[in-house]
Amino acid sequence: MREAEREHFRKKVPRILEELKTKRYEPLFLETAEEARHYIIDHIDAGELVGTGGSVTLREDLGLVQALRGRGNTVIDHWEDDGDYDKRIELKRKHRGVDVFLTSANAITEEGVIVNLDGGGNRVASTCSGPKRVILVAGLNKLVRTTDDAISRTRNKVAPINAVRKSLKTPCAETGVCIDCDAPARVCAALLILLKKPGDIDEFTVILVNEDLGY
């Protein structure tokens, strides 16, 4: 990423943070993924039960699953299903009862609206009810102007890329374009638009990072 892009984001981020604060989130701006990684680890107690949504940002960019387990946390990760569908569903359902749920976002608008799209629904469910705390991390590449832009990004960019990543047999994996298909492997079924912090979540931290993270 070019420094001019990072400086541009620095100029925009104060207003976005204020919008998020108005919506009852606890917003934070950090320059690097490494800073975000250390912040999250420092703000989760070693005895807390942690769940993680489906996120390349959390696993590949921040390495949080390994880091948290290395210092003693139990982390429930449905990507570790060993190809067993029943095990995957069981792990997903456990997310609702964790102390801390970690996630990213498919898109965040300049007005502080957070949008996520799921195939199964565990991430969107656990982001709005169940866990005591949610920590969401997003890179500047997730920032869009409007809610319509956010929805378009989830369906026309994020979903096709994830379908390719998972080697799924969906039209978007073949064409790169969402056609609102009825494929059994469809990755987009549940759309969550967070207009404000959900009341069932005690504490919801939103960390914006001045790097491109995830898709």
Low-confidence ranges of the chain (pLDDT < 70): 1
Buried/exposed 94-118: b ≥16 CB within 10 Å, e otherwise:
bbeebbbbbbbbbbbbebbbbbbbb
Q: Which token pair is 113?
A: 């609206």
Q: Which residues pair with 117 in a beta bridge?
A: 191
- The residue ranges of every structural domain in the chain are 3-209
Tokens 């696993």 belong to residue: 59
Q: Give the Cα-Cα-Cα angle 204, 76, 82 (nearest 5 degrees).
A: 140
Measure the CA–CA gap between 138 and 35, rounded to whole angstroms: 13
Tell me the per-residue pLDDT of 89-98, one tens digit each, with 9 for 90 and over: 998 899 999 9
Q: What is the pLDDT of residue 1?
A: 66
* CATH fit for domain 3-209, picks 1.20.1530.20, 1.10.1060.10, 3.40.109.10, 3.40.50.10420: 3.40.50.10420
Which one-letter DSSP state was computed for residue 155? I
pLDDT tens column, 44-55: 999 999 999 888
H-helix or E-strand containing 74?
A: strand 74-77
CA distances from 117 to 41, 69, 123 (A): 26, 27, 9
